[in-house]
């Protein structure tokens, strides 16, 4: 293999890695909207790639649940609709709890060290109000717990859940009042609790934290689905008779 060929191959690989990482980040941080079309031609030009490696990246991301490839219509960011949100809310606590139990049983010290490092980056981002870093570090924190589980069946399910968890949880990382700020501080404390419980092989505490953390996330994700002010507006619009009846 010639030196020139190796250099070209390294350049293409770098371009492919860059495209893969950027698309994942942009989907998780909502820089790319759910259901948004992906322009294969413009991405090829931007990353200096031919169409073939771009399509390879698309197929890889489709397999991981980030995008959807439609016959004769191209690729799009995986959508979020009523059905996907319903499925998310139904199964997420069960998957997280099962992952947590297995993480306690199977974690390696290197993974625990990575979890601690990720938590420190998340903590710093929460103090500095770095929303994008909070989204990515929180996602990585829970991803590492999935890796600790070492379960080939649950990890793909967790990965798919974390995509939507990140996307619909943005309200959580943009606190607009003291109560939301308090919730964010509590989330950081939950992460510390996960680390301590996993390190001490305390399976029951990890599962308890899973449900506490999930409830905190669920309440904040509801704010994303039903923004503040919606209920108040609905009461303003309600007929006077119905208000009297409810009082």
Distances (CA, A) of 61 to 1, 34, 88, 120, 197: 30, 14, 19, 28, 33
Statement to judge: residues 123 and 184 lie in one domain: yes
Say whether 70 sits in a helix, a strand or coil. strand
Statement to judge: residues 168 and 214 lie in one domain: yes
Statement to judge: residues 101 and 216 lie in one domain: yes
Range of the domain at 151: 82-230
Measured CA to CA, the distance from residue 203 to residue 84 in angstroms comes to 30
Maximum C-alpha span of the chain: 84
> Quick check: is 102 in a domain?
yes
CATH number for the domain that contains residue 118:
1.20.120.530
CATH number for the domain that contains residue 24:
1.10.10.10
Domain count, the chain: 2
pLDDT in tens, the chain (247 residues): 444 434 344 444 457 889 999 999 999 999 999 999 999 999 999 999 999 999 999 999 999 999 999 988 899 999 988 888 888 888 999 999 999 999 999 999 999 999 999 999 999 999 999 999 999 999 999 999 999 999 999 999 999 999 999 988 776 777 777 887 888 999 999 999 999 999 999 999 999 999 999 888 877 677 666 555 444 444 444 444 444 444 4
Statement to judge: residues 105 and 212 lie in one domain: yes
Which residues of the chain form beta strands (DSSP E)?
37-38, 67-70, 74-77
In this structure, is the dihedral angle defined by the CA atoms of residues 132, 196, 142 and 185, taken in order, positive or negative? negative
Residue finishing a domain among 77, 101, 129: 77
Assess contact for 180 and 220: CB atoms under 8 A.
yes
Residue 2: what pLDDT? 43
Statement to judge: residues 66 and 98 lie in one domain: no
Beta-bridge partner residues of 75: 38, 69
Residue 11: what pLDDT? 43
Assess contact for 97 and 210: CB atoms under 8 A.
yes
Measured CA to CA, the distance from residue 101 to residue 239 in angstroms comes to 50
Measured CA to CA, the distance from residue 45 to residue 108 in angstroms comes to 42
Statement to judge: residues 36 and 94 lie in one domain: no
């Amino acid at each position: 293999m010639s030196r020139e060929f190796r250099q070209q191959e390294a350049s293409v690989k770098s371009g492919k890695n860059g495209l893969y990482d950027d698309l994942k980040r942009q989907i998780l941080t909502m820089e790319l909207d759910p259901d948004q079309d992906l322009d294969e031609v413009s991405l090829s030009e931007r990353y200096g790639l031919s169409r073939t490696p771009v399509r390879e990246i698309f197929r890889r991301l489709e397999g991981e649940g980030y995008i959807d490839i439609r016959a004769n219509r191209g690729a799009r960011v995986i959508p979020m609709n009523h059905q996907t949100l319903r499925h998310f809310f139904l199964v997420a606590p069960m998957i997280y709890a099962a992952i947590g139990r297995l993480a306690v049983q199977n974690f390696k010290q290197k993974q625990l060290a990575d979890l601690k490092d990720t938590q420190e980056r998340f903590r710093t981002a929460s103090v500095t109000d770095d929303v994008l870093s909070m989204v990515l570090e929180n996602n990585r924190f829970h991803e590492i717990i999935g890796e600790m589980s070492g379960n080939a069946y649950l990890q793909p399910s967790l990965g798919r859940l974390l995509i939507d968890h990140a996307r619909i949880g943005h309200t959580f990382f943009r606190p607009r009042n003291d109560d939301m700020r308090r919730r964010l501080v509590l989330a950081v404390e939950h992460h510390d609790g996960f680390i301590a419980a996993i390190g001490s092989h305390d399976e029951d505490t990890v599962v308890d934290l899973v449900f506490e953390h999930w409830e905190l996330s669920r309440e904040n994700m509801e704010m994303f689905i039903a923004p503040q002010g919606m209920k108040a507006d609905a009461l303003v619009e309600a007929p006077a008779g119905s208000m009297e009846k409810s009082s």
